[in-house]
Amino acid sequence: MRIRVQALCLLFLSAWIVTAGGCRSTDARPAAGSARDGVFIHLTRGPDDPHAVAMALKMANLMAADRDVLVYCDLKGILTVLKDAPDIGFAGFESSHAQIRALLERSVPIYACPGCLKALGKTPEDLMPGIQVANKEAFFTFTRGRILTIDY
């Protein structure tokens, strides 16, 4: 009986793949000369998780070479973009300050959540130069292509 159920499930899955996805073109790449895709990097971690901070910033820098990128910091991520933030290091990565500087030099917007700033008793004036307070319109206008989100 168990083998029959597994066989039926496999048969159903195969039929679904053929009818739902296997017969259609899934090439959703934009045509040459059309809008670039965007990458939304969501940084929620802070100095207590240097690997996550380093990865988020490195991915943002890597993607910015040929994609539109927006970095959004909230929760403990705010602690990485304050004027008095420690320069977070992790083996094999550039420091957080160096990576943030590189992103800003590439004109990659880095946003801080206003509610999280307030919850930490901070104001926009406490942010590093170049870091902006987030607004919802920026989330929808930083790219004209598809948006991929990467969370850290």
Over the stretch 49-99, which tens digit does the pLDDT of each residue have?
A: 999 999 999 999 999 999 999 999 999 999 999 999 999 999 999 999 999
Q: Between 12 and 115, where is the model more confident?
A: 115
With contact defined as beta carbons under 8 Å apart, do 21 and 54 qualify? no
Note the pTM of the prediction, 2 decimals: 0.75
- DSSP letters, 7-34, are HHHHHHHHHHIIIIIITS----PPPTTS
Tell me the backbone φ, ψ of residue 21, rounded to 5 degrees.
-135, -30
Measuring CA to CA, which residue among 15, 74, 12 is closest to residue 40?
A: 74
Yes or no: is domain 36-151 CATH 3.40.1260.10? Answer: yes
Burial of 134: CB neighbours in 10 Å, binned 0-12, 13-18, 19+: buried
pLDDT at res. 138: 83
3-state secondary structure 70-81: EEEECHHHHHHC
Burial of 56: CB neighbours in 10 Å, binned 0-12, 13-18, 19+: buried
d(CA 87, CA 94): 10
Q: Between 108 and 6, where is the model more confident?
A: 108
Work out the pLDDT band at 9, boundaries 50, 70, 90: very low
Residue ranges of the domains in the chain?
36-151
**Residue 63 in 3-state DSSP?**
helix
